[in-house]
Homo-oligomer: A and B are copies of this chain.
Amino acid sequence: MRFFYSLVVGVALLLSACVGQKADNNNYKILVKNSGGDSTPALLSALEKAKSYNGKNVEIHFEKSTYLFGGDFAPDVYVFTSNNDEGLKRVIFPLIDFQNITINGNGAKFVFDGRINPFLIRNSKNIKFKNFTCDLVRSGHTEALVLDTFKGGAVLEMKPDFPFEIVQGCLMFMGKKDSITTTQKRDTYYIYRSMLEFNPQRNAIEYNVADVWANEFGAFRADFIGGRKFKLYNTNAKFKKGNVVVFSLGARYHSMFAVDECCDVFFENVTVHDAYGMGIIGQNTRNIVVDNCKFTPAKNRIVSCSADATHFVNCEGKIVLQNSLFENQMDDATNIHGIYERLAKIESANTFISELVHRQQYGFKTFAVGDEIEFVDRHSMITKTTAKIKSVEVINKQFKRIVLTAPIPQGVKKLDAIAKIRNYPEVVIQNNIIRNNRARGMLLNCRGKTLVKNNYFSTSGSALYFEGDASNWFEQGGVRDCTIINNTFENCNYAKGWGNAVIEVAAGITKDRQKSRYNRNIKIENNTFKMFDGTSLLKIFCVDNLVWKNNRVEKTTTFPPKRNLPPFITEHSSNVVLSK
């Protein structure tokens, strides 16, 4: 008895739909006309036609207009995407097993209606997205204006396009479509967990605020006043009159683009206004380029994606983020990392059970036959030893049985972390603007050559962050060759939390810090740091070989000072050179 993971999916076999098709020197073009209604059937028909060209170059192109995509005629696909929520998802662009396809919007706007998964690109090669804007009819998050305050709370007015209700004193959000009353009514809600205050004058998170958490079920107490006004009761929020309170989406239902086991995926001149999770999640993929793209809120909104703008897990080849704008999203601009599994049980001399621990990593294809893996002490993050995989048996989305080509090395034990030793990708992050978002800028956790050049950062937390742990997020990191050059960091860390330095190491190393050197070979050169207070410029630990030189520090008066920390905090590190 042996079952394998496979798709769960139905799809419309469409007879109507896309229009126009012509061949030019083996390059095919298919036009998706805008019918004015739901364009999903026309799109699916175009995809079907494109597939029939069997891998020849096909451009699916659009009119320069606003296309509405609904989920009624789209297929369901079971999707595991790292750092997002798994599930059976309604996919509008199911780019599964495609090759050599360009989606050219010609300036079109794609608006997705309902809690659906816009793009899934799986097991495909040479896929290009260009010249379009993506948005959602109903954002994942919700925005309200602070009209007035009172002791213990504020009077808020919900902005248009954010449906809400107050039931039994609980503030709740829902979609724009009515849904029938069933025992599952909860599913129609847009769950939230917290609120965060934005300052519309600065189009950014308010100075010195943090997430304000709802109760554990995700509710704030509220009383309806009338129209779109209500009283919100909370004593932790700042509630500055005129500010915008953003209620975060409490789940990561869908990314705008989920890229899974692909090769050569390009984003060019694509604007992402919103997502029920991340903008782009790329996993187990070789070569992804994000060029001249924008992650930015739609007009009249202050937040873009509900989570990270981009995120890359266990990728190889090259990851390029350039000439792009990352702003106002509810989490980091990017995070490039691997995955640690955990040794759950040793079964025999060369066989053990491995476990994906973080729920949002379940179902991830970590290991394959022939892979080299490292065993890592989960406290010190020191690599103990390596081994090679003879066979992998997937037991379920959480556990797998691994047989090694040789006995399990001595010293390896239960709860050790395990990561694949990959052909780590080269990372190029250049000429981008990263600003006004929640949390950090770029999370640099890739062992491939990493270049961060000519970027502008103004982030509410740290601009550059080095993570990696085997106890909480189970994200594998540890740079080996990282250059940070010619960047400007302006007034970073102005919110409360998300780091104490502009550039910070925050790996989860809890033991043997004097020995562990998890991040190595970092060069920070010729950058400008515009500082409003005594936040640290650099805070590191367990680093080997770091050079800081030719960086300028300027003082600003944008905000009142909050901190008075040393400019450099270095602990348990070797070969650190801090020059002018």
**Nearest CB in chain B: distance from A45 CB, A:** 9
B396, A74: Cβ atoms under 8 Å?
Answer: yes
B12, A401: Cβ atoms under 8 Å?
Answer: yes
**Nearest CB in chain B: distance from A53 CB, A:** 12
**Per-position contact with B for A516-559: 1 when CB-CB < 8 Å, else 0?**
00000000000000000000000000000000000000000000
Taking a contact as CB atoms closer than 8 A, the residue among B217, B357, B360, B397 that contacts A88 in the complex is B397
- The answer to whether the Cβ of A7 comes within 8 Å of any Cβ in the partner chain is yes
A396, B90: Cβ atoms under 8 Å?
Answer: yes
A397, B1: Cβ atoms under 8 Å?
Answer: no
| Given known contacts A167-B215, A167-B216, A215-B168, A393 and B360 CB-to-CB distance under 8 angstroms | no
What residues of chain B lie closer than 8 Å to A51, measured between beta carbons?
1
**Per-position contact with B for A496-518: 1 when CB-CB < 8 Å, else 0?**
00000000000000000000000
A3, B9: Cβ atoms under 8 Å?
Answer: yes
B11, A395: Cβ atoms under 8 Å?
Answer: yes
**Per-position contact with B for A360-389: 1 when CB-CB < 8 Å, else 0?**
100000000000000000000000000000
A3, B75: Cβ atoms under 8 Å?
Answer: yes
**Nearest CB in chain B: distance from A51 CB, A:** 5
A41-68, CB < 8 A from B? 44, 47-48, 51
- The interface-forming segment of A28-36, A179-187, A297-305, A417-425 is A179-187
B5, A11: Cβ atoms under 8 Å?
Answer: no
Q: Which residue of B lies closest to A361 (CB)?
A: B182
A86 CA to B184 CA, complexed, in Å: 11
A50 CA to B18 CA, complexed, in Å: 51
What residues of chain B lie closer than 8 Å to A47, measured between beta carbons?
1
**Nearest CB in chain B: distance from A269 CB, A:** 27
- The answer to whether the Cβ of A13 comes within 8 Å of any Cβ in the partner chain is yes
Taking a contact as CB atoms closer than 8 A, the residue among B2, B76, B184, B219 that contacts A396 in the complex is B76
A161-195, CB < 8 A from B? 167-170, 172, 180-184, 186-187, 189, 191
Q: List 15 A-B contacts (CB under 8 A).
A: A1-B47, A2-B13, A3-B11, A13-B393, A72-B398, A73-B399, A74-B395, A74-B396, A75-B395, A78-B88, A169-B215, A170-B216, A187-B359, A216-B219, A217-B217
Residues of A within 8 A of B (CB): 1-13, 44, 47-48, 51, 71-78, 85-86, 88, 90, 94, 167-170, 172, 180-184, 186-187, 189, 191, 213, 215-219, 250, 252, 344, 353, 357-360, 393-399, 401, 472-473
